[in-house]
Amino acid sequence: MDLAFTPEELAFREEVRGWIREHLDPALAAKVLGGLRLSKDDIQGWARTLGRQGWLAYRWPRAFGGPGWSVVQQHLFDEALAEAGAPPILPFGPVMVAPVIMAFGTPEQQRRFLPGIASGEVWWCQGYSEPGSGSDLASLRTRAERAGDHYVVNGQKTWTTLAQHADWIFCLVRTSTEGKPQTGISFLLVDMRSPGITVRPIRLLDGEYEVNEVWFDNVRVPVDNLIGEENKGWTYAKYLLSHERANIADVNRAKRELKRLKRLAQQCGVWDDLRLRDAIALLEVDIVALEMLVLRVLAAEKSGKPALDIAALLKIRGSEIQQRLSELMMLVGGPLTLPYLEPALEGRWDGPYPGGDSALAPLAPRYFNLRKTTIYGGSNEVQRNIVAQTLLG
């Protein structure tokens, strides 16, 4: 594997870095680098900025309105965004549902839905998990019954990230009860403004309203919003999940958070603690190993070799690294991470903070929030079974 980037790739990275410096608000970058909460305007405003440049759809081929970048250019773009402190690109539209629409949607569906995703104007959410149907997704019970030129949808989705902001939701629904559970599932695109949809917030341990229950009560969805064939949605769902699990690895954000961990250790006066330095060094080795794994995948794709089917492995290692980063940050801050001052989490606190450093305020909420990473996207226990079956036979 050749780990050296070409002169053209290095020039591309500098071009991207220059553009980000020119267009990313320093105050917004400071919020990201400090681990503060981001508003809808923070996230979608940046998405629209990327959309105007044609870079929100940075993984898309030219045929669908993307820049047609190589996999290495995509990686370098990800890296530049993370190191600059850009808000995250929410994956639900450009990274998850868009590839499904490209691969399995009709030309009319592609013309209808892809432009709004690429511009950042249309916010999407994911309707997969249900109570009792998380990692065992094939047991889902939300029903879609055909009634003329519409489906009538009834049921419930849960843990729906940022559904309170979403314009559309892509859903797995049951259209048949015959045969294996996987064979009766279809993939529907649903307008969140449809009569009969109710969004109920779920407050998390960090106090944030991030996920939701979404209820469907006789929601009418045009048959034209069905992706692909009826009862073939499980095939499309697996295609999408491979994109989600690889995205969870997020090695570039891990590299950025490692720098933040070191910075906090120095600010808190514990940088010289040898046991802490050992723990940070071990974590850094694992982050480098994860990056090598990602680059190995890129090298295979770049050389035209068969892609490495290791999305499950990337998800396992990436999610565990995120948790270890947050655990070490809590260790660095100690008891001073515990006060819960909501204005400090949003960068609005100008009063005294216990210990004198409000940079510690986001650490405990983030630690509690990241307990979820080894569960969502398919629990790591299930992912280990997938790795065993795929790689070991």
Active site residue ranges: 244
Side-chain-facing half-sphere of 239: CA atoms under 13 Å = 17
As a dihedral over the C-alpha atoms of residue 5, residue 10, residue 16, residue 20, rounded to 10 degrees, the angle is 100
3-state secondary structure the chain: CCCCCCHHHHHHHHHHHHHHHHHCCHHHHHHHHCCCCCCHHHHHHHHHHHHHHCCCCCCCCHHHCCCCCCHHHHHHHHHHHHHHCCCCCCCHHHHHHHHHHHHHCCHHHHHHHHHHHHHCCCCEEEECCECCECCCHHHCCCEEEEECCEEEEEEEECCCCCHHHCCEEEEEEECCCCCCHHHHEEEEEEECCCCCEEEEEEECCCCCEEEEEEEEEEEEEEHHHEECCCCCHHHHHHHHHHHHHHHHHCHHHHHHHHHHHHHHHHHCCCCCCHHHHHHHHHHHHHHHHHHHHHHHHHHHHHCCCCCCCCHHHHHHHHHHHHHHHHHHHHHHHHHHHCCCCHHHHCCCCCCCCHHHCHHHCCHHHHHHHHHHCCCCCCCHHHHHHHHHHHHHC
Contacts of 127 (CB under 8 A, 6+ apart): 142, 157, 160, 169, 170, 171, 172, 190, 214
